[in-house]
Structure 1
Amino acid sequence: MIGLIETDSSELGPLRGMIETDSSELGPLRGMIETDSSELGPLRLMIETDSSELGPLRGIVETDSSELGSVREMIETDSSELGPVREMIETDSSELGPLRGMVETDSSELGSVREMIETDSSDLACVGKLIKTECSGPCSVKGMPGARRVAYFYLYGLSSL
């Protein structure tokens, strides 16, 4: 199946969409949507999968908006039941300041998980957060000792955690 959609709209701005799949239960799938809108700013969405039940999957969303600032989101998975998964979100906004978030897991049923969120905002000041979880069976959360723990878990206004 191959499909192409294109429209030029006063509400959506120019919009282009392309979907392609070669499928025995979704096989390789590629989808791309792009719009340039006064409300959303430039927006790009790309999804790609090579699948025998979802195999490698890649998705990218990007927008540059006067309200949201620039936003980039990337999701990638290489999966026999969710294998390694990586998700990255980044925005540079006048309201939120620079914001970066990353989630990573290497999983045979959720294995090691890492999550990092960081923002530098005039309202929130400097906030850093790192969560690391490693599990074989029930998950346990491992902290970081001493100075490394303070450095990785730094929160504005707190000298230690």
Structure 2
Amino acid sequence: MNSQAEIPGAGDPSPLRQWGAWAVLAGAAGLVLVFVQIVGPTLEPTPSVGAQIGEIAGEIRRSAWRSFFGLSAPEPEPSAVTAWAALAIAAPLLGIAALVLAAISAIARENRRYAAYGASLGAAAITFQFIWLVALLIACVVLLVAIIENMGDIFGI
């Protein structure tokens, strides 16, 4: 007596009418944006590594001399917001959105698989973003320590 024909919307095969499906899409988009953010900057043309390290070392030396003579630091140049900086914000936000949508899907008692997949993809996007930023931070610290240790060799002091 309680058939699906009597219940409006029951038996609707469209998964896009479920919160869990949107959670999966948001989590997948966040994860893809994290990977695009990791790979993307390598596709842009950049100066050689030696030139970049020399610029960093020169800036460190100029800053040290200014501090030694008591001179004020020059005004910092405003940095332009790039697409890569926007991706650094968008990817974890999509991961958080996926977690929220997965929670709504679980509360609404929709298909558990969609909620689980969405939550997993969202958590993966947030985790990979965090791991990537920590790895970059460690690499930058190692590079700066190497530059400072070899400052004399670079400038022949």
TM-score bracket, shorter-length normalisation: under 0.3
Q: RCO (CA 8 Å, sep 6+): is it higher in 1 or 2?
A: 2
TM-score (norm 2): 0.21
Richer in strand (by share): 1
TM-score by length of 1: 0.20
